[in-house]
Chains A and B, each alone.
Chain A
Amino acid sequence: SQQGEEDPQALSIQEGENATMNCSYKTSINNLQWYRQNSGRGLVHLILIRSNEREKHSGRLRVTLDTSKKSSSLLITASRAADTASYFCATVGYSTLTFGKGTMLLVSP
């Protein structure tokens, strides 16, 4: 069963614009993570936010978490063509990670 659902499924923007992706989940979590996947490759961990945190930053990434709404958002500021990839949220059970279906981001030069 998939826990997280990303929204939108696809996003197309110009370089320099900000990109916002959302994730909703169903059950209580310990933490939520965001991963990135370049075309045809494995996933790379971007950022983790714990259930007692509301916001976290890492470089051009900003993640928020609203446990009351069971939702999270990933903001990429000043996007670059190299940010083109699929982005997944993942929720953590005791021993496993459950992924959503991902948002495909296209950043055009």
Chain B
Amino acid sequence: DVKVTQSSRYLVKRTGEKVFLECVQDMDHENMFWYRQDPGLGLRLIYFSYDVKMKEKGDIPEGYSVSREKKERFSLILESASTNQTSMYLCASSVRTGKGGLEAFFGQGTRLTVV
């Protein structure tokens, strides 16, 4: 089974702190994603990466950066955490299913609270 592991289930950080959210997948997938999920807003794509050292902005990249130094690991960085970044963060990796399809595998999520 594909496994996507996020390093923390729950995290509490202070405003202004630099925060690292780590995600590791064990299936050699090329694509990895970071989403945030908020009530009433669904899942919104922050950043994605389609290869090592490659990254693309999603819909809401402001206040975030990412790092993909190794294929299996995709890190989300909050440069200076703010209270409006309190959210559930979901990491995913994906595999192509043929004829343009993608199937995504998600981690369990990190619930981040910024105080």
Using a CB–CB cutoff of 8 Å, the interface residues on chain A facing chain B are 1-2, 30-31, 33, 35, 40-45, 48, 50, 88, 90, 92, 94-102
B41 touches A101 (CB 8 A): yes
The smallest beta-carbon distance between B88 and chain A, in angstroms, is 8
A100 cross-chain contacts in B, Cβ below 8 A: 42
Please, which residue of chain B has its CB at the minimum distance from the CB of A45?
B103
B111 touches A42 (CB 8 A): no
B101 touches A99 (CB 8 A): no
8 Å CB contact of B90 from A33, A43, A50, A101: A43
B72-91 interface with A by 8 A CB criterion: 88, 90
Answer whether A43 and B99 are a contact pair too, CB < 8 Å, given A88-B43, A97-B33, A100-B42.
Answer: no
A33 to B43, CA, bound (A): 14
The smallest beta-carbon distance between B25 and chain A, in angstroms, is 12
Which secondary structure dominates where chain B touches chain A? strand
A45 cross-chain contacts in B, Cβ below 8 A: 103-105
> What are 24 A-to-B residue pairs whose CB atoms are below 8 Å?
A2-B44, A30-B99, A31-B97, A31-B99, A33-B104, A40-B88, A42-B4, A42-B92, A42-B109, A43-B90, A43-B92, A43-B104, A43-B106, A45-B104, A45-B105, A48-B101, A88-B43, A96-B48, A97-B92, A97-B102, A98-B45, A99-B42, A100-B42, A101-B41
A95 to B105, CA, bound (A): 14
The smallest beta-carbon distance between B17 and chain A, in angstroms, is 23
Using a CB–CB cutoff of 8 Å, the interface residues on chain B facing chain A are 4, 31, 33, 35, 40-45, 48, 50, 56, 58-59, 88, 90, 92, 94, 97, 99-109, 111
Answer whether A40 and B109 are a contact pair too, CB < 8 Å, given A50-B99, A90-B104.
Answer: yes
Please, which residue of chain B has its CB at the minimum distance from the CB of A30?
B100
The smallest beta-carbon distance between B24 and chain A, in angstroms, is 14
B100 touches A92 (CB 8 A): yes
B31 cross-chain contacts in A, Cβ below 8 A: 95
The smallest beta-carbon distance between A34 and chain B, in angstroms, is 12
The smallest beta-carbon distance between A58 and chain B, in angstroms, is 13
The smallest beta-carbon distance between B27 and chain A, in angstroms, is 13
